[in-house]
Amino acid sequence: MTMPNQNQIANPQSGQLPQVKGPQMNDRDFINDCLATCKYVTDGLNVAVREASHQQLHADMMQMLDETHQSAREAYNLMFQKGWYKLEAAEQQKLEQAYQQFSGYSTQFPYH
């Protein structure tokens, strides 16, 4: 039996998944595919929104982008709730290093 990673943030996995995975897609596979598709679509929409020259087209794509981000969030929340999406907790030292690195950048902003 493997010990859980102490730096892992996750809910207990639901008992609905089979122990041995066959070729058929299960609920986890479908939701994971949905999340991956939403991520892919938002990447493309981000580019399209930035480059849209027509105001109504820009507005329509912004709405699509927002809805797609919302769908991705809902898929992530469902996967996390069921224990199908795990996160690694950041170490305090790494957080402090990143803060120190990027906090100095604020002096380069054109506004304060």
- Give residue-wise pLDDT tens across range 37-60: 999 999 999 999 999 999 999 999
Determine the pLDDT at residue 1: 44
Q: Answer yes or no: pTM beyond 0.85.
A: no
Instruction: Go through the chain and tell me how many residues it has.
Output: 112
Domain count along the chain? 1
**Residue segments in the chain with a per-residue pLDDT below the cut of 70:** 1-6, 14-20, 112
Determine the pLDDT at residue 49: 97
Domain membership of residue 56 (yes or no) is: yes
Domain membership of residue 30 (yes or no) is: yes
Domain membership of residue 13 (yes or no) is: no
